[in-house]
Amino acid sequence: MSSSLSYIDLEKNNFHGKIPDNFGKGCKLYSFRIRNNQVEGSLPRSLGNCKGPIPSSLGDLSELESLDLSSNQLQGRIPTELNNLGFLEVLNLSHNHLKGPIPQGKQFDTFNNNSYIGNLGLCGLPLSKDCNNEETPAKLERDDDNDEINWKFSILMGYACGLVLGLSMGYIGFTTGKPWWFIRIYERLRQRFTKTFKATLSANSPNISTDQSALLVLKSHITHDPHNLLATNWSHSTSVCNWIGIPCGSRHHRVTALDLSSMDLTGTIPSQLGNLSFLVSLNIRNNSFHGSLPIELTNLHRLKYLNFGNNSFNGEIPSWFGYLAQLQSLYLYMNNFSGVIPSTLANLSKLEQLILSKNNLKEHAQG
């Protein structure tokens, strides 16, 4: 799993059984949602700072802000080490089979009954059920004095390092100077090479007309446009950079984003969409696009944000998503995807957000 992955949403699929031991290995989660599945057993070791033993090392996910494990079949006690999650704002452990005392102190004092309902074996605040004295967990206190000392020491060290580095660089520049004759020759050669290279590139590379052609093919694949948003706006009479949902880059004047979200469109995705080679963001959420996704989308090697959520795409999640090396956010929620999550998604080293909720996914292949 990507070391930069911070948001995972697998809500409302068909996962059952235990979470794999290597799930989350190497990641740095801020939010993990897997509610309304049939998960059981203990959490894997890999979720504890993505390494180390479970359940106690779950507290090593120091930047976790939201943890939703509701409506599963989890058992055992709530680890007191969750008190180490100083940024945790949302906790939902409801409707499992947890037991024992609820940890007290720090952010646990901010959670109400809704975080724990449906676990008959739990006791202690905020629930009305009291624990036996021997079960009552010790309330953790903050070491504010040490925090203040560490904070002041960090600032002092930062100033000291910056001062030493600045004086060193100034001394080197003052004593050596710059060889200006060499710099002037270099600048002339660089300008001449750049001019020749740009002329060659513009003569042999795709341009804005390539982007326009790809978008017009997409328009022809849209069978229902109830608000006539594309029918009246996407035409040869206006610049493609002025079309609705189409911004262009100021440097290359190529299409950098496609945003058709919430336009009530119906249609399919053509292979020519892969010709938008400067595309960074692709958002068609909240429409009725259907069918399968063309493999030519792997040509979008600059793509960082992809949102196909709330459409009607079906079949398995394509394994070639793993070749979109720059991808940071992948939203495929509320479609009709089935089968397993492709292992190639682990190749997405920059992936931060993965939202696959409300599909028909399962945790492993049958047979």
Task: Indicate the DSSP class of residue 213.
Answer: H
Render pLDDT for 4-25 as a digit per residue (tens, 0 to 9).
555 666 666 666 555 555 555 5
* Predicted confidence band of residue 136 (pLDDT cuts 50, 70, 90): low
Sign of CA dihedral 247, 248, 254, 256: negative
pLDDT: which is higher, 90 or 4: 90
pLDDT tens for 169-196 read 444 444 455 555 555 666 666 666 666 5
| pLDDT of res. 43 | 54
Q: What is the pLDDT of residue 211?
A: 93
Per the model's pLDDT, the better-predicted residue between 26 and 120 turns out to be 120
H or E stretch at 125: none
Provide the percentage of residues in the chain whose pLDDT is more than 70: 60
pLDDT tens for 111-130 read: 887 888 888 888 888 887 88
Higher pLDDT, 57 or 50: 57
Average pLDDT over residues 57-85: 71
Domains, the chain, ordered by start:
7-135 (3.80.10.10), 144-203 (no CATH), 213-362 (3.80.10.10)
Model pLDDT, residue 97: 78
Q: pTM for this one? A: 0.55
* Three-class SS state of 363: coil
Report the alpha-carbon distance of residue 326 to residue 4 in Å, rounded.
12
Which residues does residue 307 pair with via DSSP β-bridges, in sequence order? 283, 331
CA pair distance 279, 248, nearest whole angstrom: 9
What's the confidence (pLDDT) of residue 246? Answer: 93
